[in-house]
Structure 1
Amino acid sequence: MPAWPEHVMWWHVYPLGFVGAPIRDGVDPDAEVVHRLDRLEAWLDHVIGLGLNGLLLGPVFASETHGYDTVDHFRIDPRLGDDGDIDRLLAAARQRGIRVLFDGVFNHVGRAHPAFRSTTDKTSPLIRGRWIDGRFEADVFEGHDALVALDHSSPAVADLVVDIMCHWLERGIDGWRLDAAYAVPTAFWAEVLPRVRERFGDAWFLGEVIHGDAADIVQSSTMDALTQYELWQGIWHGISDANLFELSHAIERHDELLATFAPQTFVGNHDVTRIASAVGPDLVPHALAVLFTVAGTPSVYAGDEFGWTAVKEEREGGDDAVRPEFPASPAQVDDVDEAILEAHRALIALRRRKAWLWRAHTDVIEVANTAIALRTAIGDDAVVVALNIGDDPVTLPAADARERVAGDGNLVDGRVELGPRGWAVFEA
């Protein structure tokens, strides 16, 4: 894999929601272009100010509703803009040293996609399904009737995906997030990705995988990294359920993956309840302390740095709350939790200074239901994390900690003293 992901931390954005585009009423993908992408450019300095240097974009291609029902992978969604708009955004990111990842929805397409519409004359080699009584019944993605599955056994689908990837890499993106990669045979990725790497050897491929044998998936698919849902769940469940043994177990499992790859880590994304709603605003820094001190390629879901709250619901439109419109510029944000914003800045700065954390193992020094001490180290360089999610003061082993760089704990006689719901990160 390329070397640059070791030094990148992502700001994850859902573009259609971010710019306030209409989503739920059904959109004509051939509608008149509305130039909204410049709203994103106004936020790039905010990305740099946080200490991040990557822009992980959700769907930007023409679709009918939420972006995951693609109808044309070679055209920017007219609700966002056009080729000129995306070229300006990519150039503005490049000027600031910001890498850009596109969201590639290659498991399924929308019913308005030409590949599906052509099945009416039995000629499409792209859609998976069957003919029943003279009518084509397409397979769909996880029961969503609007999302028809591509036929990944078809050479034509492999050729199409290679062409799409290369087209946008040529235009200046740095890699791809592979949406629903878990639903696509690993053999398909193993055929497609090496072909793309022949032309773009520096491209990075991140697979969205929710469950399964992660190490085996990476090895058999040739993807560079996978989304680390097990660690995400261990962080927010461990904190919200006051059971840090679950977090400890997730960290140990996380470390086992490092022999194969460095996962993409997060505490929030466009598909889950915001971390401030999941654990409560006062415990968000605890979650961030884990995110930015364990191995992996971290991302921040846009808005989490302000402490925004929102709950994902299992219903149509249940994602909308976690995919809100943003104001025209960061200066117009008026609902900011300053403690959460400062925790982001301090911990991202620490991670920036210690790039070796990308693939370093974490030892659980001590754990109880409501308190945990972690030490991540390479050689003589180490970072120590001490967390208390309980309502009573605690002390934890200092594990050679020397200087506090974030949080509010104190070093006393080789122990870390934490107040109720206290946290601290130290260099050792």
Structure 2
Amino acid sequence: MKVPGSGDIPLRDMSPVWSDEAIWWQVYPLGFVGAPPAAVSGAGPVHRLRRLEPWLDHAAGLGCTGLLLGPIFASETHGYDTVDHFAIDPRLGDDADFDALIAQARERDLRIVLDGVFNHVGRSFTGDAGWLRKRPGAADYDTFEGHHRLVALDHAQEAVQDYVVSVLGHWLDRGADGWRLDAAYAVPAEFWRQVLPRVRARHPRAWFAGEVIHGDYAGYVARSTLDSVTQYELWKATWSSLNDRNLYELAHALDRQDAMLATFAPLTFVGNHDVTRIASQLDDPRHLGHALAVLFTVGGVPSVYYGDELGLRGVKEERAGGDDAIRPAFPPSPADLPEAGRDVYALHRRLIGLRRRHPWLARARTNVTHLTNRTAALRTGIGGDRALLTLLNLDDQPWRCPVDITHATLAEAGDSGEGDPAVVPAHGWRILIDKPA
């Protein structure tokens, strides 16, 4: 089956490294479907999860190959205070709604990765209270980063390992393709080293990506046996370097990412459910294309946070309800979207199409062949004959790239693309296919 709107590029379902070709559309379901902010004890299921189904064609048309779903399990409030990992949150529906979503996704060759937090649980957790970690020298339980409602699991217990193995396997059995493991950085890497091989014994092609915010990404992957971790370092360097007009920061982050790519492909992004939207994060709206050009032409497994492809704005605030602006409800179907943002959607679609035509980019390394504060040439390639050249200009004047592009052809541009491809307009960007002589 071919996915519409992405250059009619077929998904190679039997690829042993399917995750390298993945491009995720990340959705925070509780917000997307407009669920109430808190669960009501004893309330029956409301089948809101099905509101995602009309949007599957939107994701496929964008060129994405799967949904990276936020939490869908029974919880107290925001989904990361899980109380039952084996039950769909009643605010979203029930098992039948999940099965329907899996079936509809399969019809469109879309994979689904679930979001599970196994570092902590909600206070009303239905599992064994003996699995919770007691605070040293205190009667109460230990918590996650001081949040009273988030109680830490005791990862040293074999019973906790068994529980997590059973949860992961249960939903993989029901059709999920992998897991995003929330707050993985707070879990001892050795815990995952014990858990994941047991899950992979039954699901060898499942993909596991952990949320790791900073630190030794490659070291954590090696110790934990995770397939990937979230690339927050590149996320920060992308918008920060554009705002400061200091592309040296981006170059530094790309150099560090090259070392990671020797052993794994990180999960890359310019927006997610925990951060200010990229359209609001950037000081200069002319630089949105630069951020996307970097995301889709460097190594890693890219994801697009729902609404970013429409240019939505939203600022995360450190207060109660401070995530609401970045986790909005969406209309019943894409047909209900306003015209505003269509140009941003079209840009995403073009760049995702480019990425789909060059799936080797997931493991490609980036060599910064030219660099000043405001201009850069990024050559991302693998082997001697496959490379893209991304040219970035943050200056107020046109810039002629000094790199030899005699054998390069223009693939995408933030402008009309007319004229000399080596001349990038003020605040412009270009992507060239670099072919050897």
Does the alignment reach a TM-score above 0.5? yes
Deviation, 1:95, is 1.3
Contact 2:370 2:403 in 1 (8 A): no
Instruction: Give deviations 1:249-298, integer Å, cap 9, x for gaps.
Output: 11111111111111110000000010111114321111000000000100
Partner of 2:121: 109
**Hey, what does 1:16 align to over in structure 2?**
30
2:380–2:389 contact (8 Å) kept in structure 1: yes
Q: Distance in 2 between matches of 1:45 and 1:394?
A: 39
Amino acid at match of 1:198: A
Are the aligned partners of 1:34 and 1:79 in contact in 2 as well (CA < 8 Å)? yes
81 and 369 in structure 1: CA distance in 2 versus 1, 3 angstrom threshold = same
Summarize the Cα distance change of 1:426–1:273 in structure 2 as closer, same or farther, 3 Å threshold: same
Q: Do structure 1's residue 249 and structure 2's residue 261 form an aligned pair?
A: no
- Confirm or deny that 1:372 pairs with 2:386: no
2:85 & 2:109 partners in 1: Cα distance? 26
What is the rounded CA distance, in whole Å, between the counterparts of 1:223 and 1:91 in structure 2?
27
Alignment CA distance shift 1:281-1:30 (3 Å): farther
Equivalent in the alignment of 1:121? none
Contact 1:365–1:399 (8 Å) recurs in 2: no
Task: Please name the residue that 1:394 is paired with.
Answer: 399
Distance 1:220 1:74 in 2: 28
> What code does the residue aligned with 1:391 have?
D
Select the residue among 197, 202, 209 that pairs with 1:194. Answer: 197
- Counterpart of 1:21, as a letter, is A
1:230 to 220, 228, 233: 233
CA–CA distance in structure 2, aligned partners of residues 131 and 218 of structure 1: 29
Correspondent of 2:345 among 311, 321, 341:
341
Letter in 2 for 1:390: D
- Matched letter for residue 122 of structure 2: G
Q: State the match for 1:282 in structure 2.
A: 286
String of CA shifts for 1:386-407, please: whole Å, max 9, x gaps.
Answer: 1112222222135436322211
C-alpha displacement of 1:427? 1.2
Distance 1:287 1:310, change over 3 A: same
1:335 Cα offset (Å): 5.4
Q: Report deviation, 1:131.
A: 7.9
1:350 aligns with 2:354: yes
Name the aligned partner's letter for residue 246 of structure 1.
E
The equivalent residue for 1:332 is 336
Once structures 1 and 2 are overlaid, which stretch shifts more, 9-18 or 312-321? 312-321
Aligned to 1:49: 61
Q: Distance in 2 between matches of 1:29 and 1:225?
A: 36
Count of residues in correspondence between the two structures? 415
Shift of 1:27: 1.9
Residue 2 of structure 1, CA deviation: 4.7
- 1:207 matched to which residue of 2? 210
**1:68 corresponds to which of 71, 80, 83:** 80
More divergent stretch after superposition (47-56 vs 335-344) = 335-344
- In structure 1, C-alpha distance between the alignment counterparts of 2:183 and 2:34, rounded to whole Å: 25
User: What code does the residue aligned with 1:333 have?
Assistant: L
Q: Which runs of 5+ in 2 are unaligned?
A: 1-14
| SS of 1:43 mapped into structure 2 | helix
> CA 1:177–1:399 in structure 2 vs 1: closer, same or farther (change >3 Å)?
farther
Contact 2:73 2:89 in 1 (8 A): yes
Q: Which residue identity does 2:188 align to in structure 1?
A: P
Among 100, 113, 116, the alignment partner of 1:88 is: 100
The amino acid that maps onto 2:291 is A
Match of 1:129 among 126, 134, 154: 134
AA at the equivalent of 1:405: A
Letter in 1 for 2:24: W
1:422 has 2:428 as partner? yes
Task: Give the CA deviation at 1:69.
Answer: 0.4
Percent identical among aligned pairs is 57
Matched, 1:174 2:174: no
The question of whether the paired residues in 2 share the 8 Å contact of 1:29 and 1:64 is answered with no
The TM-score with structure 1 as length reference comes to 0.94
- AA aligned to 1:346 is R
Segments of structure 1 that go 5 or more residues without pairing to the other structure are 119-123
- The answer as to 2:289 corresponding to 1:296 is no
Q: Secondary structure at 1:73's aligned position in 2?
A: strand
Give the Å deviation of 1:410: 5.2
